[in-house]
Structure formats: C-alpha cells, structure tokens
Amino acid sequence: MTGYLPIAVMILIGAGLPLVAFGVSMLLAPRKPEPLKYTSYECGVEPTGGVRERFSIRYYVIAVLFVIFDVETIFLFPWAVRYRVLGWFGFVEMALFIGVLVLGYAYAWKKGALEWA
C-alpha cells in the first residue's frame, strides 16, 4: 500500500495550495463592503425570482444512464487487462454482457431518453 502514500501527499498539496493562496489573498486584497456588490449577478438589473427552483427532468435521466454505463466501464477494466489470457472465453462472456447492455441502451434510445430538445 506504500504506493498510495504519495497520492495522499499529492491530495494534501492540492488542497493546501489553494488554502494558502486564499490566505495570502485575504491579507493583501482590499475589502470595501457595499450592499450592491453582494447581490447575485443578473446583467445589472435587480434579481427577480428564486434560484432553488425545479429544473429539467432530462438531467435526472442522464444521471441514471450514466450510473449504468459507468459501472459497465469499471467492469471492463479488469477484463481488458486479462483479456489475452482469457481468450475466446473472455470475449464471449463480455460480448454477452455488453449485448445485454446494448439492448437496454437501444430501449432507452427508442423511448427518447437520449433526446434533449
């Protein structure tokens, strides 16, 4: 597991760098509070309406499809690394797996889950 210690170091540096920079910026940057500065951006006019509103169902459908396909991708990785050892057995197994997924994909396409407009 020592191979993963450097990754933890990188994550710490990656999180520390912005924190330090925010600190330096806080010390150096001017601070002149004014109420209008802190309103939400709305092209210069007074903001109207709320922000926490409902948005298109499409985003949820895409999210569900993503979960399915991403899990599939993860299943493919270990298979790919051992592919030449598994030979035709591995090919047929994965062809069946992808085939089942493609059926679902075709169904989603036919039902219009992939249409955006």
Interface of this chain with another protein, residues 55 to 114, rule: CB under 8 A: 55, 58-59, 62-63, 65-66, 69-70, 73-74, 76-77, 80-85, 87-88, 91, 94-95, 98, 102, 105, 109, 114
Instruction: Specify the residue, 91 or 107, whose C-beta has the smaller distance to another protein.
Output: 91
Site for another protein contains 17 (CB under 8 A): yes
The 3-state DSSP class for residue 112 equals: coil
Select 80 or 107, whichever has its Cβ closest to another protein. Answer: 80
φ and ψ of 114, to 5 deg = -95, -5
* Site residues, another protein (CB under 8 A): 2-7, 9-11, 13-15, 17-19, 21-22, 24-26, 28-32, 35, 37-43, 47, 49, 51-52, 55, 58-59, 62-63, 65-66, 69-70, 73-74, 76-77, 80-85, 87-88, 91, 94-95, 98, 102, 105, 109, 114-117
